[in-house]
Structure 1
Amino acid sequence: MYEDAGVSGAKRRDKRRAFDRLLKDATRRKFDMVAA
């Protein structure tokens, strides 16, 4: 699971570690879909 608890979605990617990891894993095709 990717969670940036207490961090605004308006923050840049470098301030959102889990979001950055999600995008990197998507590039590496580690999953087929994202459910939000």
Structure 2
Amino acid sequence: MQILQTQKMVVMNKTYRTLIGLLALITFIGCNNKKRCQ
């Protein structure tokens, strides 16, 4: 039961990191396109 819980946490962590990375990338590209990111 404990192992299953740990695996779930790892998957959630990876998903979270991926979402944050995508969000940062989209924000960065959007900023570059607008040329007024401060």
TM-score (norm 1): 0.38
Rg bigger for which structure? 2
Higher helix share: 2
Higher normalized contact order (CA 8 Å, seq sep 6+, divided by chain length)? 1
The two structures have a TM-score, normalised by structure 2, of 0.37
